Every structure is written in structure tokens, then in C-alpha cells.
């Protein structure tokens, strides 16, 4: 598991935004992963996707790494943010925008506002 932990650590530290998910950003393979990838894609966030279905060590390793039992998992600037429910709440409250602003992550503010309008 040490190898998986070091690969995960390398990935989250080398990329501004990382989504550990089932499937890929272009082809999510579960509803929760699809929701988070859809938000990031719609907001135009440049992020690295890691398909946990392609590597069992990473699939279990990411849960141990974050001490979080579910996938997807979003990391911003090396920090664990949360899973689907947390990302959904943060998107709707504007907290995700604030996090991106604080960390210098480029995104489409207009698209973020449209998500909130559609869910109001």
C-alpha cells in the first residue's frame, strides 16, 4: 500500500485539482463521480482525473490516504476537499468558488452562477 500512497501523494501534490473517481472525466462510471466531474467540466476547471476502477491499489489507497470511505474524492492544491455531497453543497453555496479563488484555480464564474440559478 506504500506504493499506492506515494503515487497518490505525488499526484495530489503535482496537480492543482485532482478528482479520484470511478471512470474518467469524459466517461464517468457512477452517478456520484458523474455529478462532480459534470460540475468541474461545466465550470471549465482544468483538473486531473484518476480512474480508481483501473487500479485496485489506488481504489483502496485513496480511501486510506484521505481517511474517507467513498469515491469520488476531490483535492485542491494537495488538500482533500470532500466527496460528492460536500462538493455539491460547496458549489451551491459558493464555497467552491471561494476555494478556487483563494487557491488561484481558474474557472468560469458565470457557469458557477448558472449552476446555482438552476438549483435555486
Considering the entire predicted model, what is its pTM? 0.95
Q: Which residues contact 65 (CB under 8 A, 6 or more apart)?
A: 5, 8, 9
Are the CB atoms for 76 and 13 separated by under 8 Å? Answer: no
Identify the three-state secondary structure at position 74: strand
Q: pLDDT tens digit string along 71-120?
A: 999 999 999 999 999 999 999 999 999 999 999 999 999 999 999 999 98
Percent of the chain beyond pLDDT 90? 98
**Architecture of domain 2-118 in CATH?**
3-Layer(aba) Sandwich (3.40)
User: What are the residue ranges spanned by the domains of the chain?
Assistant: 2-118
Amino acid at each position: 500500500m506504500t506504493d499506492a500512497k506515494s503515487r497518490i501523494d505525488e499526484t495530489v501534490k503535482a496537480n492543482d485539482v485532482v478528482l479520484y473517481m470511478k471512470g474518467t472525466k469524459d466517461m464517468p462510471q457512477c452517478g456520484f463521480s458523474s455529478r462532480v466531474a459534470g460540475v468541474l467540466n461545466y465550470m471549465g476547471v482544468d483538473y486531473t482525473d484518476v480512474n480508481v476502477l483501473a487500479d485496485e491499489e489506488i481504489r483502496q489507497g485513496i480511501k486510506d490516504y484521505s481517511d474517507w470511505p467513498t469515491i469520488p474524492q476531490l483535492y485542491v492544491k494537495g488538500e482533500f476537499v470532500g466527496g460528492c455531497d460536500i462538493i455539491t453543497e460547496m458549489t451551491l453555496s459558493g464555497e467552491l468558488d471561494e476555494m478556487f479563488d483563494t487557491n488561484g484555480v481558474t474557472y468560469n464564474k458565470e457557469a458557477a452562477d448558472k449552476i446555482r440559478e438552476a438549483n435555486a
